[in-house]
Amino acid sequence: MKAITNYDVRQLHWFDESSVIRTTGNRIYGHAERGQPAVQVQRHASNANYTINLLTSASGIGHADIFTGPSNGLEMLDFFDDATRIVDVFGNPILSDGDCVVLDNCGFHHGHFVEPALRDLLRRQGVELIFQPLYSPQFNFCELL
């Protein structure tokens, strides 16, 4: 928590992923308007039909992607590889020198090869990687979206 106070709020970016289970018309559970198909959103599901990766900051969603199946370290590295190369509508990079990315402590975020590869990828852009405290979703801006 102390490390995050060294950054201007405009330099902070939060990452999170969410799994989406596609349901049929014969739903067992889920929420929807009457007559509309139900979609169940579930975090950390290994039986996901889709995963949504999200990178957000105080100025909004910087980068998002949706892919088939559950999330894993390789998908996260691909996401950040894309995020380091894209620019916003004004031509500014999404992640720039001096920024900080905040991740939760999902198991594969700390993978033996994943965490060092992600740190190296971000370090080359001048971006620091920090992890939020354990079991603290209230500190992840993505949870509000």
What CA–CA distance (Å, rounded) separates 76 from 68? 13
Q: Which domain holds residue 136?
A: 3-144
User: Does residue 142 surpass a pLDDT of 50?
Assistant: yes
- 76-103 pLDDT per residue, tens: 999 999 999 999 888 889 999 999 999 8
Write phi, then psi, for 88 (nearest 5 degrees): -80, -175
**Averaged confidence pLDDT in the chain:** 82
CATH code of the domain in which 127 resides: 3.30.420.10
Is 38 in contact with 23 (CB distance < 8 Å)? yes
Tokens of 73: 């370290």
Is 41 in contact with 47 (CB distance < 8 Å)? no
Count of structural domains, the chain: 1
What CA–CA distance (Å, rounded) separates 72 from 69? 9
What CA–CA distance (Å, rounded) separates 96 from 94? 6
User: Does residue 26 surpass a pLDDT of 90?
Assistant: no
Q: Calculate Rg over the CA atoms of the chain.
A: 16
